[in-house]
Structure 1
């Protein structure tokens, strides 16, 4: 078996501005079961990519200025709750990457993309519905600034940072 075959898969996430990161981390710290909360809040683009030069080069090829995303509401995940996210630029980046990385995508990453930031997971559906109702009643949209793309090695639970690709300066 080659060394390449034994490398852990990579997860691709969007890096957001620090104020937004702190905002979502606070929700996650409050509502995620503590024994399972070993990650910061994140917005996943792909759940399982090969750890190889092609993946890294493809991610680094994205020539996109920083852009904004908006939270559009709360989303029920069955066993958790997330902030729903909308951004034309995010969808365009993901579509471009999906085309270039198509051969290595797992079924989960070939499905329709519905961006979100999970703040609660691994709870009963009843607990999730209760939190959803609570947060929907006070929901206020916020704007997030996308700063770059992060690749993480998946280590069976925890993640280890692998690479970062900064987006260009925001227009204007």
Structure 2
């Protein structure tokens, strides 16, 4: 159950556990161990106020939907690491609606257009990132994953603490 708290809140997109196996395995293999205190994830918002009751209320409202398919469409090198990018028009639309709902509390980073990605390597040299990128790119084929809800996390100056999940589900018809 979500509880209001003083720490900033991060919102992620929950992905089906079976789809996350690939990303988490790659992250365990290629993310520096000293900095790998999170599983792979897709961040939607980086810093929302934990004391605003409208945040969990809004997530509950927007979770009244069917799970959505996302297309993993590329693997990219961002200099100090590697990530998989996603093409997801429905997610872009959903993110825009959430941005409008959270507008009073958005920091500059959260006002940017969403560039959905799942990082599997970070905080390495450019050489290591280029090596992994070339290796993964060689055999890359686009594939689908399923978004299943929202996750909320308290930011603890490095590690994150899980707060609650708002799983997608069709609204009940009465």
TM-score using structure 1 length:
0.91
Superposition deviation, residue 102 in structure 1:
1.0
Match of 2:144 in 1: 143
Cα offset for 1:46?
A: 0.6
2:26 maps to 1:27? yes
Cα deviation code 1:105-161 (max 9, x no counterpart): 111111121100000000112211121111111112221111110000111111111
Q: Which moved more, 1:85-94 or 1:116-125?
A: 85-94
1:19-168 matched pairs, under 5 angstroms = 19-51=18-50, 52-62=52-62, 63-168=64-169
Give per-residue Cα distances to partners, 1:68-115, cap 9 Å, x unaligned.
101101112221100001112211111110001011111111112110
* Aligned pairs, number: 165
Q: Name the CA distance, whole Å, in 2 between partners of 1:58 and 1:109.
A: 16
1:9 counterpart residue number: 8
* Cα distance in structure 1, aligned partners of 2:169 and 2:56: 17
Q: What is the RMSD computed on CA atoms of the aligned residues?
A: 1.3
Using the TM superposition, name which of 113-122 and 88-97 deviates more: 88-97
* Partner-residue secondary structure (3-state), 2:150: strand
Q: SS in structure 2 opposite 1:40?
A: coil
Instruction: Determine helix, strand or coil for the equivalent of 2:124.
Output: coil
Q: Which runs of 5+ in 2 are unaligned?
A: none
After TM superposition, the score normalised by the length of structure 2 is 0.90
Say which SS state the counterpart of residue 101 (structure 1) adopts: helix
